[in-house]
A and B are shown apart, each in its own frame.
Chain A
Amino acid sequence: MSRIELRVNGRNVEVEADGRTLLTHALRDHLRLTGTHIGCDTSQCGSCTVHVDGKAVKSCTILAVQAAGCDILTIEGLASGRELHPMQAAFNDFHGLQCGFCTPGMIMMAIDIVNRHGRPDEATVRAELEGNLCRCTGYHNIIKAVCAGAERMGEMA
């Protein structure tokens, strides 16, 4: 067991866990931030996507200790109070989800896409979502939601 110091959604937290603990397990099992999902064991589905130092990564493919000292942002860190982040609101308005399992990862990835591309076109969004799988929607409304969310984030900036 070791003590792992993390900074999650702006708060400093300590987790007492084995060295082998994946970031995703530290978030879900130790910090009870269960918005970050686990959808595969092959690093392919992207439902575990969080930001580490501002970049989207798969939290099932990084140890918690590797993320020690980094700024971690999860889906729980997006809304301010009851007000949704514009990307969350866009997924709601454009029906970018059905069962919702992939949604936290999709939204974290969508924000990363906007951070790098500003207002991406549809082709860019499709290419950038390569690492996020959805078994329900057929992606069409997810793409619409990401483009709309990008517009709204641009207006607020």
Chain B
Amino acid sequence: MYDLGYSRPATLAKALELLQQDDLAQLVSGGQTLMPVLRARLAAPSQLVDIARLDDLRQICTIGAGIEIGAGMTHAEVAASPVVRAHLPALAALAGGIGDAQIRHRGTIGGSIANNDPAACYPSAVLALGARVQTNLRMLDAEAFFAGMFATALEPGEIVTAVHFPACAVACYLKFRNPASRFALVGVFAARLASDEHRIAIIGGGNGVFRWHEAERHLDRGAGVDGLDTVPLDLANFTGDIHGSADYRRHVAKVITRRALTQMA
């Protein structure tokens, strides 16, 4: 790891100031993605600005029928939160299945969506549920926030502060784990929204989280889960690697979608 400076500002304003003064400074939240990246010398920030303990980023509350989760809440805290478990049990289950217990004790929702790893779990829930991402500057719709693998609409120096999830009727997240790394080979967040519309968001395809619009329309027409096999799913959403071909991933995505919908019913 290249050497670097470190600061733990006491306020969000101070953190923003540090980022503004130094183009090469980088935020660190749970560090469960960034630390492996730094160890491998894949990045060389001048300093880390640690926002993990900022009170402003560490709340979970209801807002109307939905919930707001502070960017600094760990996967373990989201999984255990009575508010999340009551309002969005599928989201609590998703958080409780990320990585392993040690990773969940430190990794945060803000870091996960800002990083937008194509195999990360949270982006599927954010996109499927039509959540909105609050930053220090603005509120972004999920559709506008994610911009392909490892890319988001965040400007340099912009900080995610919270994620707002609207209420939904019922949802289910399922992932098919790579047996070695245990990361998702493919993951599917299926939801029926409060409006009764269906949403299917898929991760692990390789190009970043995306919605399976054809399946959503199929379900909205009242057609059954069984018919899903013949619904087109664009192969361009998938890439192949040593763990599986694009074709294989697409197949798994269809199987997992069917399982998630069956569990939801």
Residues of A participating in the B interface, judged by any CB pair closer than 8 Å: 18-20, 22, 41-44, 46, 49, 55-58, 60-63, 65-66, 109, 112-113, 128, 130-132
Name B106's contact: one of A62, A65, A130 (CB within 8 Å): A62
Interface pair B4/A61, CB less than 8 Å apart: no
B85 lies within 8 A of chain A by Cβ: no
Interface residues on chain B, number (Cβ under 8 Å)? 29
In the bound complex, CA of A20 to CA of B35 (Å)? 10
Cβ A131 vs Cβ B6 within 8 A:
no
Q: Is chain B's interface secondary structure helix, strand, loop, or mixed overall?
A: mixed
User: Is the pair A109, B4 in contact by a Cβ cutoff of 8 Å?
Assistant: no
Nearest to A59 among chain B residues (CB) is B102
B103 touching A43, Cβ below 8 Å: yes
**B14: CB under 8 A from chain A?**
no
Chain A residues contacting B50 (CB-CB under 8 Å) are 66
* Chain B residue at smallest Cβ distance from A113: B101
Using A43-B36, A63-B35, A66-B31 as known contacts, say yes or no to A58 and B4 having CB atoms under 8 A apart. Answer: no
User: Which listed residue, B6, B36, B182, touches A65 by the CB 8 Å rule?
Assistant: B6
Q: Would you call A109 and B2 a contact (CB within 8 A)? A: no
CB neighbours (8 Å) of A44 from chain B are 181
Q: Are A43 and B2 in contact (CB under 8 A)?
A: no
Residues B3 and A131 in contact, CB atoms below 8 Å apart: no
CB distance from B2 to the nearest CB of A (A): 7
Partner of A63 from the list B31, B32, B103, B182 (CB cut-off 8 Å) is: B31
Within 8 A of A (CB), among B1-39: 1-6, 8, 28, 31-32, 35-36, 38-39
Does A130 contact B31, Cβ atoms closer than 8 Å?
A: no
Contact A19-B3, Cβ < 8 Å, known A41-B39, A43-B32: yes
Contact A20 B102, CB 8 Å, known A41-B40, A43-B35, A65-B6: no
Residues of B within 8 A of A (CB): 1-6, 8, 28, 31-32, 35-36, 38-40, 47-48, 50, 52, 76, 99-103, 105-106, 181-182
Residues of B contacting A113 with CB < 8 Å?
Answer: 101
Tell me if B106 and A46 are in contact (CB < 8 A).
Answer: no
Distance to closest chain B CB from A94 (angstroms):
21
Q: Which of B4, B76, B106 counts the most chain A CB atoms within 10 A?
A: B106
Interchain CB contact under 8 A, B103 and A58: yes
| Other-chain residue from A20, A42, A109, A131 in contact with B36 (beta carbon distance below 8 A) | A42
Contact A19 B6 (CB under 8 A): yes
Taken together as a complex, chains A and B put the C-alpha atoms of A22 and B50 apart, in Å, by: 15
- Separation in Å of the B179 CB from the closest CB of chain A? 12
Known: A41-B39, A41-B40, A130-B182. A20 touches B103 (CB 8 A): no
Those 6 A-B pairs whose CB atoms lie nearest each other, nearest first: A131-B100, A130-B100, A55-B105, A61-B35, A20-B1, A65-B6
Contact, CB under 8 Å: B31 / A56:
no
A63–B47 Cα gap in the complex (Å)? 12
